[in-house]
Amino acid sequence: MLSSTLRGVLAVALCVLPLWCAPGHAQTAPAAGVQPRLFGYVDGAGMAHFASSALDSRYAPVLRAQHDEVGRVPGKTMVRSSLLTWLEFAPEVKAVQPWLRDAERATGVDLELLQAIIAVESGFKRDLVSPRGAVGLMQIMPDTADRYATKAERTARPVDERLRDPRSNIMAGARMLADLDRRLGGIDVALAAWNAGEGKVRRAGGKVPAIAETQAHVHLVLELYWALLQQRQHRQAKDMNLVPSDPLQPVALR
């Protein structure tokens, strides 16, 4: 199963990713030790907004570091923010949980990884269309959606309609990610291909290409994925009456 493999290599992938700036500053690398972060806020209507930089004073890091030590492992020194709570309890997030679970069962891709991609790509806005034409929760291009659809799915509905349907959008994205991971051999390069295109990954020797926006995107998705996995671990520990002192730290089962 892909999901068990992802958990085994995630910490390594996070440690070895080069540190680049967030999208929008693609030509300027940050000072040594500066990590790209995912920022966001929850507005008065209960809607979350995400960005790869603090666009204004409302935006705060989704993952808040306890210490600013250089060389930390992402996810290891993080504390819960209001946005992580939003990702657990918001109605628009809860609404897609059944389809995330269906996609996890069908493809082996962790629900938390799919959730992290959706948060970074669309902020759970199911009708979002990018300037390049990517559509829906997982921001999938129409030709990509057709490539990962079954013949019956392609025949039943036009691609734009499928992409605006959260269930179809999530399933197409999960199939694509599972396929990229299988063929490219790593979740970090699979996410890089998702963002920059498979051709650029292959031209980079099968590694995450030296494109600042892509480097930042991969890091942000993996860091949020790591935090969401730990959040699930904490919930499972509570169910077993094993509550860790730090909600986002791994639990030792005795």
Fill in the DSSP letter of residue 51. Answer: E
Task: Report the alpha-carbon distance of residue 184 to residue 245 in Å, rounded.
Answer: 38
Q: What is the side-by-side strand order in the sheet with 60-61?
A: 48-51, 39-42, 60-61
- Please confirm, yes or no, whether 121 is among the known catalytic residues: yes
Looking at the chain, the number of H-run helices and the number of E-run strands are 12, 5
Q: Which long-range contacts (CB under 8 A, 24 or more apart) does 76-83 make?
A: 76/249, 78/227, 78/248, 79/246, 79/247, 79/248, 80/231, 80/247, 80/248, 82/42, 83/40, 83/41, 83/42, 83/48, 83/50
Q: Which of 112, 121, 213, 223 is catalytic?
A: 121
Residue with tokens 């499972």: 236
- Please return the burial class of 89, using the count of CB atoms within 10 Å of its CB with bins 0-12, 13-18 and 19+: exposed
Amino acid at 9: V
Question: Would you please indicate which residues are annotated as catalytic (active-site) residues?
Answer: 121
